[in-house]
Amino acid sequence: MVVSIIGVGLIGGSMAISLKENGFATKIIGVDASPNNIDKAFRRRLIDEDKSLEDAIAESDIIIISIPVNAMLQVLPKVLDLVTTQVVMDVGSTKFELMNHIKNHPNRKQFVGTHPMAGTEHSGPEAAIPNLFDNKTTVICDAAQSSKEAVEKVENLYNALKMRVIRMDSNAHDIHTAYVSHISHISSFALALTVLEKEKNEKAILDLASSGFSSTVRLAKSSADMWVPVFQQNRDNVLDVLDEHINSLSKFRTYLIKKDFKKIKELIEQSNEIRRILS
């Protein structure tokens, strides 16, 4: 199985490592707009060859598009223009706008929209790691709009990555990821900005930062080039959850002003319910 990866960064590069190690891919072809990324991918042995988009597609069985979701809107139609029997898949964090964008393409059935729920706060080929996807969940969106054969190939790929596969429509996907992923990043960005504004002593931040603080602001290290397009495409859902988040913060603020620590205790105990859900 020859796999081309368009965008050899954290996700694409980590896929390359695992698909080659587990024998799913016999060859990995890298395509990237950045020669620097290609050079790093070669030096880390993430890819076997680099080719132009046209040549990579012609030689491949599966094409994985792993680029920011705004660029996906331009690149995916070009890829679909060039495929015949090849299967195309993406790994983007938003789905509804992309699916709507290519719904009338004559090769639509060769495309499978997916979102592997895995990652780190780092980016680029140097951030790629083995086993990133082990025991994580991936979402296949709007599977009925893809050919049965294409979906089966993509499911086999994710099974090779040791991922749990679920199906969801693209609109529901964007709503749910706003709650479980996108708001987490906004919260982390906001907390980092708050601390940077209020605490000017960088050494104090470093000396006093606990593991709790470090884990909470970990996502604030994430790439703006990746996350701004996500917020742009999922704006309405993110605004909805952000309003609810601000409402929850306001409750804590109000009870602190009133010195109503009984109410604060009740809020914390209500929040503990997430432990049952996640376990």
Which tens digit of pLDDT belongs to each residue from 13-37?
A: 999 999 999 999 999 999 999 999 9
Query: What domains sit in the chain, N to C, each tagged with a CATH number?
Result: 2-169 (3.40.50.720), 173-278 (1.10.3660.10)
- Give 247's Cβ-side CA count (13 Å radius): 6
Above 90 in pLDDT, residue 74? yes
Mean pLDDT, rounded, of the chain: 94
Above 80 in pLDDT, residue 120? yes
pLDDT value at residue 207: 64
Q: 211 or 67: whose pLDDT is higher?
A: 67
For the segment 193-205, the average pLDDT, to the nearest whole number, is 74
| Per-residue confidence band for 47, with pLDDT thresholds at 50, 70 and 90 | very high
pLDDT value at residue 163: 98
Q: 80 or 192: whose pLDDT is higher?
A: 80
Q: Which residues pair with 141 in a beta bridge?
A: 113, 168
Both tokens of 27, joined, read: 């060859």
Query: Exposed/middle/buried for 117, CB within 10 Å: 0-12, 13-18, 19+?
Result: middle
Least confident of 46-60, 120-134, 187-201: 187-201
Which tens digit of pLDDT belongs to each residue from 254-272?
A: 999 999 999 999 999 999 9
Task: Read off the pTM.
Answer: 0.91
| Per-residue confidence band for 208, with pLDDT thresholds at 50, 70 and 90 | low
Residue-wise DSSP of 99-148 = HHHTTT-TTGGGEEEEEE----S--SGGG--TTTTTT-EEEEESGGGS-H
Above 80 in pLDDT, residue 245? yes
For the segment 33-60, the average pLDDT, to the nearest whole number, is 96
Residue type for 93, please? S
- What CA–CA distance (Å, rounded) separates 114 from 28? 19
- What CA–CA distance (Å, rounded) separates 187 from 193? 10
Which tens digit of pLDDT belongs to each residue from 135-172?
A: 999 999 999 999 999 999 999 999 999 999 999 999 99
Q: Which residues pair with 6 in a beta bridge?
A: 31, 65
| Per-residue confidence band for 59, with pLDDT thresholds at 50, 70 and 90 | very high
| Per-residue confidence band for 210, with pLDDT thresholds at 50, 70 and 90 | low
pLDDT value at residue 103: 97
- What CA–CA distance (Å, rounded) separates 216 from 32? 32
| Per-residue confidence band for 215, with pLDDT thresholds at 50, 70 and 90 | confident
Above 80 in pLDDT, residue 99? yes
